[in-house]
Structures are given as structure tokens and as C-alpha cells.
């Protein structure tokens, strides 16, 4: 799970969802066996996103782009409230 909001005390990771997910995927590949598949869980909720100056849709989109551009094997968006409206909006912008 590369939820930027869970890097308590590290404003750079919280406020830059793209870099947080991208670096997480790349580092996972570096630390793993060659044939490992990396499928990050990404943050689909608004906890601590204010400092990023992104709305939730764009915060999710940044993470999706990072997962894609870091050559992950996909991604899973998680939202405890099961509210994926902003996720679906982000997906439309991704394609």
C-alpha cells in the first residue's frame, strides 16, 4: 500500500502522490526477484490531500499515472466508504 497519507510526518510524500507511488513501485521491483509482479494499492480517499492542492479525482489520477508509468502490473484503488465516484472520473481521464 502506497497511500501517500500514511507517510505521517513526511509532507513531501503526502503532497506528491505521483512520486510516492512511482518510487514505491520502482523500489519494490528493485528489492524483489526478477519475475515479481507489483500491483500497488493506491489511496482513493481524501485523507490528508489538502496540502497537495489537488482535488480527490486528480490525487487519484496522479497515483494511477505513477503506477502505469512505473511499469507496475496494474493498481487497486481502495476507499473504505466504498465511494468510487472520483475514482471513475480519474479513470476516464487516464485513458
- In a domain, residue 90? The reply is yes
Stated pTM of the model? 0.92
- pLDDT value for 18: 95
- In a domain, residue 88? The reply is yes
- In a domain, residue 53? The reply is yes
Confidence check: pLDDT of 88 > 80: yes
User: What is the number of domains present in the chain?
Assistant: 1
DSSP annotation of 93 reads: H
Euclidean distance between CA atoms 37 and 19, whole angstroms: 19
In the predicted model, what is the mean pLDDT of residues 76-80? 96
Confidence check: pLDDT of 11 > 80: no
Confidence check: pLDDT of 67 > 90: yes
Count Cα atoms within 13 angstroms, Cβ side, for 73: 7
- In a domain, residue 81? The reply is yes
- In a domain, residue 61? The reply is yes
- pLDDT value for 4: 72
- In a domain, residue 34? The reply is no
- In a domain, residue 16? The reply is yes
- pLDDT value for 15: 87
- In a domain, residue 64? The reply is yes
The parent domain of residue 57 ranges over: 4-29+39-94
Amino acid at each position: 500500500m502506497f497511500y501517500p497519507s500514511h507517510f505521517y510526518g513526511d509532507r513531501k510524500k503526502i503532497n506528491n502522490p505521483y512520486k510516492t507511488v512511482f518510487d514505491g513501485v520502482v523500489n519494490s521491483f528493485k528489492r524483489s526477484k526478477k519475475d515479481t509482479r507489483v500491483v500497488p494499492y493506491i489511496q482513493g480517499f481524501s485523507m490528508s490531500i489538502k496540502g497537495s492542492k489537488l482535488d480527490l479525482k486528480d490525487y487519484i489520477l496522479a497515483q494511477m499515472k505513477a503506477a502505469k508509468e512505473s511499469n507496475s502490473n496494474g493498481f487497486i484503488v481502495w476507499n473504505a466508504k466504498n465511494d468510487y465516484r472520483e475514482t471513475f472520473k480519474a479513470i476516464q481521464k487516464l485513458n
